[in-house]
Amino acid sequence: MSKRVTARINLAALVNNCQQIQTIAPHSNILAMVKADAYGHGESEVANVLEPYVAGFGVATLEEAEALRDAGINSSIVLLEGFNFPHELAIADELRLDLVIHHRDQLELLLSSSFNAVPKVWLKLDSGMHRLGFSMESWPAALERLRETRFSASAICMSHLACADEPDHALNEQQVSAFQSVVEGLPNAKSIANSAAILSRPDLHFQWIRPGIMLYGVSPFGVQRVLSDYEPVMTLLASVIAIRKVEVGDAIGYGASYVCSQAKRIATVSIGYGDGYPRAAVSGTPCFINGQRCEIVGRVSMDMITVDVSEVADVQLGDQVELWGENIRVEEVAEFCGTIAYELLTGLTGRVNYQYLRPPQ
């Protein structure tokens, strides 16, 4: 059966990207972010390939952690948003998870529990993003509280930057100095850097870095600064299912929103918002057919898009179309959709077929 839509995942590129990260942060442990199905790349495949190269994995939910254990992952797994109820803590214990603790109730719940697999605790400071974390005032007391317990040995001081993708933003310095003022002099390991900070702030690598998007070869800074040292891991492919000629004045697609100002050849391609290709993609969004860049014309449908192939030689039914990946950066497509690459990658639906290219053994 021919596949309508395929996400081809280049696992060798993933490994190369990971090694490149270790090269630029040689003294840091890598906590590989594999939340949201490894940014849409397939959590268990990604984690299995990365496991020899990283110190642990970061996930958002218990289900994601469980899937990693089921896939045979034995490394440390950090539950980034922690837990809120005793039964969740019991599952975390069973799964041997390390825990981000970001508010007082979590801390008390953990300390009153009979947790068997003594986890590493990542004690999170709200240094100015105001989303998760203990306040500047309460963080030291939380660490103090941990110190009296069996969870103390390995507590990691953690915070997260709101504007790391804008290196000149004033909030970065404010957050960094807030973090420094609280962790100053502590013997504990520290961690603050996501991909953007790993790239732009080597002074913030500390003992643990937390790369997400860059592992997948995609820039946290968007199309203005793509990463030439990193290879896109995902290439999203569909195929040509119809070809027609249209004349001046003909409209294409729903709403007749696109009207041809000249005669064109149009290819209809087997992907739409039902697959996770965003409906927000405007006319002019690039794709790649037979070695050439082309542009989408007209609205994205649920199962199809229409592409101007007037300039592409010899387009045939069944030809492969790249929506993003090796030739068209997902950062660029995101720009045309008014969003970020993160959202496109994590937005693919269950209709997409995954094909894994294994690294040479």
**Residues labelled catalytic:** 35, 254
Q: Which is nearer to ligand PLP, 80 or 142 (CB)?
A: 80
Residue written as token pair 């953990």: 110
Residue among 28, 195, 200, 235 that touches ligand PLP (CB under 6 A): 195
Taking the complex as a whole, the smallest distance from the CB of residue 331 to ligand PLP amounts, in Å, to 13
The pattern of x and - marking residues 68 through 107 that bind ligand PLP according to CB under 6 A reads ------------x---------------------------
Picking from 167, 155, 166, the residue whose alpha carbon sits closest to that of residue 208 is: 155
Query: Candidates 18-26, 68-76, 213-221, 309-317 — which segment interacts with ligand PLP by CB under 6 A?
Result: 213-221
Q: Is 212 in the site for ligand PLP (CB under 6 A)?
A: yes
Q: What backbone phi and psi angles, to 5 degrees, belong to 15? A: -65, -45
Q: Is 40 in the site for ligand PLP (CB under 6 A)?
A: no
Give the count of beta carbons closer than 10 Å to the beta carbon of residue 106: 22
Residue among 56, 119, 220, 232 that touches ligand PLP (CB under 6 A): 220
Q: What CA–CA distances, in Å, run from 355 to 91, 97, 224, 237?
A: 32, 29, 29, 11
Residue written as token pair 């992907």: 271
Residue written as token pair 């993933």: 14
Taking the complex as a whole, the smallest distance from the CB of residue 191 to ligand PLP amounts, in Å, to 8
Report the C-alpha gap between 330 and 236 in whole angstroms. Answer: 9
Residues paired with residue 357 on neighbouring β-strands, in sequence order: 10
Query: Candidates 43-51, 188-196, 242-250, 324-332 — which segment interacts with ligand PLP by CB under 6 A?
Result: 188-196
Residue among 160, 264, 299, 329 that touches ligand PLP (CB under 6 A): 160
Residues in touch with ligand PLP (CB under 6 A): 33, 35, 80, 160, 194-196, 210-214, 220
